[in-house]
Chains A and B, each alone.
Chain A
């Protein structure tokens, strides 16, 4: 277990603040790519997801997209785009990859959020004379927010993991220490980098978990744990969002 001690020593050593890859800069790069990509993905996926969730049209396509998105090996995608778009556009290739990976989660979060709302509430809204737009803005969006945030949480973690991998194509970030450490045979560096990115991921996860709780509108009906099987079936795909691979992978 002294390897962990060495890793922490590496992580907190003052050397981390100097050199061509200081730790704060690596963290900053990592966060920058994550947030920019998720923001762009949200701009694309949230309106689309709301459209699908509200009208019910295109749902099969959205589900298929979410499923296919899970199957894409992100490691391969980033290598492919860097090769195709060229080396001078590495950041662009990377951001495109991250956006493509984040869209399915956010899309699923947006439409399932809307789908999870009990139809009776929507009917009640109609019954009191609300217009479609008012229903959307005052009922669907707030009630669908928790699942949307869950989708974004998945997306953020997935992108964090893929940014780690992007160090292989020279993008920097916290994965750099792992990739550099292997040929240099420095396990304290490999483990230190791994711990740094893990802590980052856990912190972001915690923040989004908090946001998820805060996103539940006051007065919204609590989902009972003993939901009927039919309702659980309906939530199958919604469960899938939260299990969305934080794919690091591929």
Chain B
């Protein structure tokens, strides 16, 4: 074999084996599992969702812990539950602000609990062994259906049941996945007998509601714009929504050591307080660390 052909052969083999190596990862594992991430030893890893309000609460946890002598590593904006739940369970992230109702539905989609205490109790049972729910806060940030003040006045709307009196077609706006959630259009049909269309409005839901492209919108209860845009939250007598309070989820290994600090934070966090934090982020455009520091100081927890 000539030297040139040999070199060609080597080059080809190298390329081919590289490709083969890359492709031998063919597996049927769930691609929605979080990959491994390593945390520094001795520090508490605090995570957050890709949601600015959740990030603020996580930062409050982080700064509160630091004020009490812990070393904290932040892994914010991890995104979807599919991404961070596995790493919470494995201990790569150790503390996470969550919402009782939504998290309960994640673990048990068929749950019938709806009140604050029932949901919290059901959540404690539903959580896997490695995770502990610390005390829940009175602050909520849950799904709620809202209409504009004008719309509510026109049709005399106070609760979701009143929507039956509306004579125009109803369109529900919210995140794309709302369409398939049990409390989405199917839930409205089952519990209230309403036929609603759906429009995936995502992050622009409030604007769409105000602009009239949808007439009902799913707005999170801690969103400051419910007040600033004069929206009316419709009451939910049939328990379509689960109560969803802010709850710290901790890895069982560190739960005891952080419980005192974090429970104090949860106790101090009120529904109005959470809204105020969100206002500081959206209207005052303050940065997350500044907002957290100010809140801790105002509540004497630093």
Residues on A facing B (Cβ under 8 Å): 1-3, 19-21, 82, 86-88, 90, 167-170, 172, 176, 179-180, 182-185, 187
Given A20-B179, A180-B177: A82 touches B204 (CB 8 Å cut-off):
yes
Q: Is the CB of B28 within 8 A of A3?
A: yes
B176 touches A180 (CB 8 A): yes
21 CB-based A-B contacts, threshold 8 Å: A3-B28, A3-B31, A19-B179, A20-B179, A21-B179, A82-B204, A87-B207, A87-B208, A87-B211, A87-B213, A88-B211, A90-B204, A167-B176, A168-B202, A170-B204, A180-B179, A182-B80, A182-B82, A183-B81, A183-B177, A187-B30
From residue 78 to 129 of chain B, which have CB atoms closer than 8 A to chain A? 80-82
Q: Which residues of B contact A168 (CB under 8 A)?
A: 202
Q: Does B32 contact A (CB under 8 A)?
A: yes
A79: nearest residue on chain B (CB-CB)?
A: B203
Given the complex, which residues of B lie within 8 Å of A86, measured CB to CB?
207, 211
Please name the 3 residue pairs, one residue from A and one from B, whose CB atoms are nearest each other, closest first.
Answer: A87-B207, A180-B176, A183-B177
Q: Which of B26, B176, B197, B202 has the most CB of A within 10 A?
A: B176
Across the interface, name the chain B residue whose C-beta is closest to A86. Answer: B207
Distance, CA A20 to CA B201, complexed state (A):
13
Q: Which residues of B contact A (CB under 8 A)?
A: 26, 28, 30-32, 80-82, 175-177, 179-180, 197-204, 207-208, 211, 213
Interface centre among A19, A21, A88 (most CB of B within 10 A): A88
Using CB atoms, name the residue of chain B closest to A20: B198
Our pick among B26, B81, B197 for the contact of A1 (Cβ within 8 Å) is B26
Residues of B with C-beta under 8 A to A87: 201, 204, 207-208, 211, 213
Q: Are A176 and B213 in contact (CB under 8 A)?
A: no
Output the least CB separation between A171 and chain B (Å): 9
Bound complex: CA A180 to CA B199 (Å): 12
* Chain B residue at minimum C-beta to C-beta distance from A87: B207
Q: Which residues of B contact A20 (CB under 8 A)?
A: 179, 197-200
B290 → A minimal CB distance (Å): 23
CB-nearest residue of chain B to A184: B177
Contact A170–B201 (Cβ < 8 Å): yes
Q: In the complex, what distance in Å separates the CA atom of A172 from the CA atom of B200?
A: 8
Residue ID in chain B nearest A3 by CB atoms: B28
A76 to B96, CA, bound (A): 29
Q: What A residues does B180 contact at CB under 8 A?
A: 180, 184
Q: Chain B nearest CB: distance from A82 CB in Å?
A: 7
- The listed residue (B28, B179, B200) touching A170 by CB distance below 8 A is B200
Q: Which residues of B lie under 8 Å from residue A19 when comparing CB positions? A: 179
- A160–B80 Cα distance when bound, in Å, is 26
Tell me if A183 and B179 are in contact (CB < 8 A).
no
A86 to B208, alpha carbons, bound, how many Å?
9
The residues of B that contact A167 with a CB separation of less than 8 Å are 176
Q: A183's closest neighbor in chain B, by CB?
A: B177
Residues of B within 8 A of A172 (CB): 200
Q: Please state if B197 and A169 are interface contacts (CB–CB under 8 Å).
A: no
Q: Contact partner of B202 among A1, A21, A88, A169, CB < 8 A?
A: A169
Q: Which chain B residue lies CB-closest to A88?
A: B211
Whole-angstrom distance from the CB of A184 to the nearest CB of chain B? 5
| CA–CA, A128 and B198, complex, Å | 66
Q: Which residue of A lies closest to B201 (CB)?
A: A170
Given that A86-B211, A182-B82 are contacting pairs, would A187 and B204 also be in contact in the complex, using a CB cutoff of 8 Å? no
Complex: chain A residue closest to B204, CB-CB:
A87
Most buried by B among A82, A179, A184: A184
B213 touches A88 (CB 8 A): yes
Task: Verify B32–A185 contact, CB threshold 8 A.
Answer: yes
- When distances are taken between beta carbons in the complex, the residues of chain A under 8 Å from B208 are 87
A19 to B177, CA, bound (A): 13
Nearest CB of A to B34, in Å: 13
Contact A176 B176 (CB under 8 A): yes
Q: Which of B31, B177, B199 contacts A187 (CB 8 A)?
A: B31
User: Please, which residues of chain B bring their CB within 8 A of the CB of A187?
Assistant: 30-32
What's the least CB distance linking A83 to chain B, in Å?
A: 8
A1, A88, A183: the one contacting B175 at CB < 8 Å is A183
Question: Given the complex, which residues of A lie within 8 Å of B177, measured CB to CB?
Answer: 180, 183-184
Q: Known contacts A86-B207, A86-B211; decide if A170 and B202 are in contact (CB<8 Å).
A: yes
